[in-house]
Structure formats: C-alpha cells, structure tokens
Amino acid sequence: MNLSWYKENKISVDDSIGIDEVGRGPLAGPVVAASVWISQTSAIKLSDSDLVVRDSKKMSPFQRKKIVDWMKSQSPKDIKYSIASATVEEIDNLNILNASLLAMERSHNSLDKSTKYILVDGNKAPHIKNADILTIIKGDTQVLSIALASIIAKEYRDNLMQQLSMEYPNYGWKTNVGYGSAKHIEAISKFGITQHHRKTFMPLKKQLDLEKKIKMFFC
C-alpha cells in the first residue's frame, strides 16, 4: 500500500491516527477496534518493503501475522497502537453500529498519542474530542494507518475466538471465528446459545423465540 491518499488529501502521516473495527457481522464474540499511529519515516519504509498491507479480509492469516509481528517489533517512536472492544452485552443493548463506534472511541482514548486528524474507515465516526475526524469509505484499502488498524484488530479478534473455541468446541469458532457458517448455525440449534452469542442477531433471536414457545407450551 502506497502513501498516495495522504498526498492527495494533504494530510501528514505523522499528524493522523487511523481507526478501524472488525467483527460487526459475526453471531458470537465482541466487536473489536484498533487505533494506529505511524511515523512518516516508518510509513515510507513499510510502503517500500515487500510486506503486504491491505484490507485485512483480503489477506491470509500468514500475511496478517507478518504485519502484526512487524508492528510489535517497532519502537513506540515509530508506531503506536491500541486495541479495544465492545462486549456481546453492549452489542445487544446498543446495537452493533453503536457498539462498534464505542469500541473505536475506546481504542482511541487508550492510545497514548494526540493528532490533528482521525481517519476512520466507513461513513460513521465515533465521538472523539479536539480532532478533525474524516470518515473514509473503504479506508482500509486506501489509508495505511487504517489498514494497519484493520489487520491488528482482526488478528486480535480471530485469536480470541480461537481461544474460546477450546471451551466451546461445537460451534466451529476455530475456523469461522463466530460468523454464521452452516456448522455454526446447525450447532446453535443442536447445542443452544452460549454467553458469547449476540442474542439480538438472527438466527439467535429466532432460536430464543422458539425456545420460549416450547417452554410456554410445556408449562
């Protein structure tokens, strides 16, 4: 990924933070957001390297891990990042959009860095004070810091769901990471709903309604 977006929009890499979230679509697990600041010097080096940086959904786990390992190996003067989440309970209470924005806000607030510009993937922005917030459709395909946020957030969330799969092996979270695969949906009907499921999402809501009707019938 080159740095053309910054040049075209006359925004310094040094004076901006990229934010993205992952996990809006799954039936289980939290929604996770990350905020990333990268120095101009490191951004140029990364852009000129052979490391692949793009929308995390279009990268292999191996490619994402290489980027995360690179980010973790850098000095705080070259790159800073923060990861935060909104819980399943918050998703069900606030709805997935507002929970996603909350996770974004939390990730920014826990980042030890202030910049003039906040660059957010999508068309909705979290509430962040004292900054110019720019929402960018498909920002993770254009803006380096947003792409890095997408990558590290996805790695974090995927690893979390794979850990949870050890406790709940029937739902296929090791591979589907909470998304509504055929195996996952079948397991919901067969084994029921866990504490990590989003109960306001279909087919979870449908399953709960069914269970409620069965309970009422036998009472």
Distance set, CA 179 to CA 26, 45, 47 (Å): 4, 35, 32
Tell me the pLDDT tens digit for each residue of 171-181. 999 999 999 99
Domain residue spans of the chain: 4-218
Confidence of residue 209 (pLDDT cuts 50, 70, 90): low
User: How is residue 213 written in tokens?
Assistant: 């009707």
User: How is residue 61 written in tokens?
Assistant: 């786990």
Q: What pairs with residue 118 in β-bridges? A: 17, 133
Tell me the pLDDT tens digit for each residue of 77-125. 999 999 999 999 999 999 999 999 999 999 999 999 999 999 999 999 9
CATH architecture of 4-218: 2-Layer Sandwich (3.30)
Tell me the pLDDT tens digit for each residue of 151-208. 999 999 999 999 999 999 999 999 999 999 999 999 998 999 999 999 999 888 876 6
Length of the chain: 219
Tell me the pLDDT tens digit for each residue of 64-79. 999 999 999 999 999 9
Residue 209: Cβ-neighbour burial (10 angstroms; 0-12, 13-18, 19+): exposed
